[in-house]
Amino acid sequence: MKQPLIGHRRWLFPVALSAILAGSGLWYGINDYPPLPTAEAPLSSAQQTGPARPSPGTLPAAAPVEAGVPPAPNTTPRSLGPEPFAPSLAGTDIDGALKADGDGQLVIDLKVRDFFDYFLSTVGEVSPETAIRQIEQMARTHLPEPASGQALALLDQYLAYKQASLAVMQTRLDPRRQGDAGYQLAALGDAMAQLKRLRQSTFDAEVHQAFFGLEEAYSEYTLATLAIQQRDDLSQQGKQALVEWHRNQLPEALKTTEERLYATTRQQQARIAAITNASSADAAGQQLTDLGLDPEGVEGVVSYLEHRERFDQRFQSFQEALNRKGANGLAAQDLEARREELLLQHFPNEQDRTWARLKMLDSS
């Protein structure tokens, strides 16, 4: 495990942690890349002073163990109990966990990052110092050494990464090129590459892979699929083949999930097409049955489509009644009264009357 970038100086981070966490959601939308805020000024020298801390590379000392206190267990608990330090956590299980192996070493996996984020997500509701202190207390209380010290060293690295990543997430797009899909894609790729380099320089390979491996694999897959969709030298079938090839390169857990989502999307598209192209409600129901929709779902869709068919028939009758001889000669106030009278007559149901009014606006 790499040593913390700036040693064990958790006292440095609370000043900027609220802003870091608020801006740390650099998640790449598919169709919209809004400009990010300007970079925050660096901490002043006054903010970077604090009590003396251990020198870089040293692990924090373990809390003293009182006589008669049983040794620390090998994992943090699943809950903070009925009265957590932040009200928003009430009734929730702790995301992730800190765990020591049989030799007392910290187990490095994604649960560690989830654990940190669970507590840090409360910043704003509680002070940054409180959230960080809770993590320290949990590590020292529930982990043996050296695992507790390793967890706190890793917390320092994670906080340092959060602070450094803020500059990447605050990179502004050129406002003159924000409508250029190619430029947006290139900016997205650059930001992803910068974050990956930052993670590699902050964490050792094991931590980097455990914390960000799946996230980066899916981000790179998303970037590749966006680039494929922008190409005009490929047929739709060619694009689909390349997307499927990239999907097959995903780690097994992600590939299984993505394939399931893709299959669900294709199934939904087929069902929508069946409803759109069917000649009648019964025909739509039969096609949906053939596509594997459960009987209850088929019955609900058929009932809805039949209701819409009856509505369309009543709306046609309503329009004919409204346009009968003499209606065009009515004053606006009288015409409105006649329209309301006919709406009540043809559409006793309030929802149907709402649909009818909307359809009148569309037709006008």
> Which of the four pLDDT bands, split at 50, 70 and 90, describes residue 211?
very high
Tokens encoding 101 = 């192996």
d(CA 69, CA 86): 27
Average pLDDT of the residues of the chain: 79
CB–CB of 166/23 below 8 Å?
Answer: yes
Question: Which pairs with CB-CB distance under 8 Å and at least 24 residues apart come from 120-127?
Answer: 120/17, 120/21, 121/21, 122/85, 122/86, 122/88, 122/89, 123/17, 123/18, 123/21, 124/18, 124/21, 124/22, 125/86, 125/87, 125/88, 126/85, 126/86, 127/14
Banded model confidence at residue 163, pLDDT cuts 50, 70, 90: very high
For 303-320, the pLDDT digits (tens) are: 999 998 999 899 999 888
Residue 220: which residues within 8 A CB-CB, separation 6 or more?
192
Cα 65 from Cα 86, distance rounded (Å): 27
If phi over 0 gives left and psi between -120 and 50 gives alpha, with beta otherwise, what is residue 315? alpha
Report the run of H or E that residue 333 belongs to, with start and end: helix 332-346
Q: Helix (H, G, I), strand (E, B), or coil: what is residue 198?
A: helix
- By percentage, how much of the chain surpasses pLDDT 70? 77
Kindly give, in sequence order, each residue whose CB lies less than 8 Å from that of residue 200, ignoring residues fewer than 6 positions away: 208
- Using the predicted structure, report yes or no on whether residue 359 has a pLDDT greater than 90: no
DSSP calls for 31-58: S--PPPPPPPPPPPTTTT--S--PPTTP
Give pLDDT tens digits for 44-99: 323 333 333 333 333 333 333 344 444 456 999 999 999 999 999 999 999 999 99
- The closest alpha carbon to 14, from 114, 132, 112, 138, belongs to 132
Closest CA to 98 of 81, 114, 86: 114
The H or E element spanning position 233 is: none
Instruction: Identify which of 98, 103, 105 has the alpha carbon closest to the alpha carbon of residue 75.
Output: 98
Q: Which residues are within 8 A (CB) of 227 and not within 5 positions of it... i.e. 6 or more apart?
A: 185
Residue in the block written with tokens 């959060």: 162
**Per the structure block, which two tokens stand in for 186?**
């290139």
Please answer whether residues 115 and 95 qualify as being in contact, where contact means their C-beta atoms are separated by less than 8 angstroms: yes
